[in-house]
Amino acid sequence: MAGNVLINDGFGNIQTLFTDFNSGIGPNEASGATGDSGGAVFDTSGKLLGVMLAVDSFGGQPGGTAMYGNNTYAADISFYRSIILATVPEPSTWALTLGGLALLVLSRFSRERVVVRVRAHSATRE
């Protein structure tokens, strides 16, 4: 079984995808093991769907294992798409920023510099 669920990680609600590891395993089914959080979750075409957050486990279950009945939770990145896109600048923004910086540097070096030298004159009296 798979689906979406809202979980609270202590910092707020997170829209997640979840899968359960059960006896009806299909050809493309997988489950996370305890300690797997932070890994990427892909669909069968290779499209990134989410980032693993947690794996349910049973009391006494050995670490790094997966058992029937475990659930794997991943942050659903499609739900957060607008936030991600608003945070990451467009390439044209980077181009304008770098172009403006280059113009500032060039204008600084292209100014004509006038150097005035003053000689100290020492007067001696006899």
pLDDT, tens digit, 9 for 90 and up, residues 37-61: 678 888 878 888 888 887 777 778 7
User: Two tokens at 112?
Assistant: 């004509």
User: What mean pLDDT comes out for the span 22-41?
Assistant: 70
pLDDT of residue 28: 60
pLDDT category, 93, cuts 50, 70, 90?
confident
Cα-based distances in Å from 19 to 52, 55, 58, 111, 120: 11, 10, 16, 65, 85
User: Two tokens at 54?
Assistant: 């947690």
Task: Please tell me whether residue 124 adopts helix, strand or coil conformation.
Answer: coil
Taking the C-alpha atoms of residue 124 and residue 35, their distance in angstroms, rounded to an integer, is 87
User: Two tokens at 98?
Assistant: 């770098």
CB crowding 43-76: b at 16 or more within 10 Å, else e:
eeeeeeebebbbbbbeeebeeeebeeebbbbbbb
CB crowding 94-116: b at 16 or more within 10 Å, else e:
eeeeeeeeeeeeeeeeeeeeeee
User: What mean pLDDT comes out for the span 101-111?
Assistant: 79
pLDDT category, 26, cuts 50, 70, 90?
low
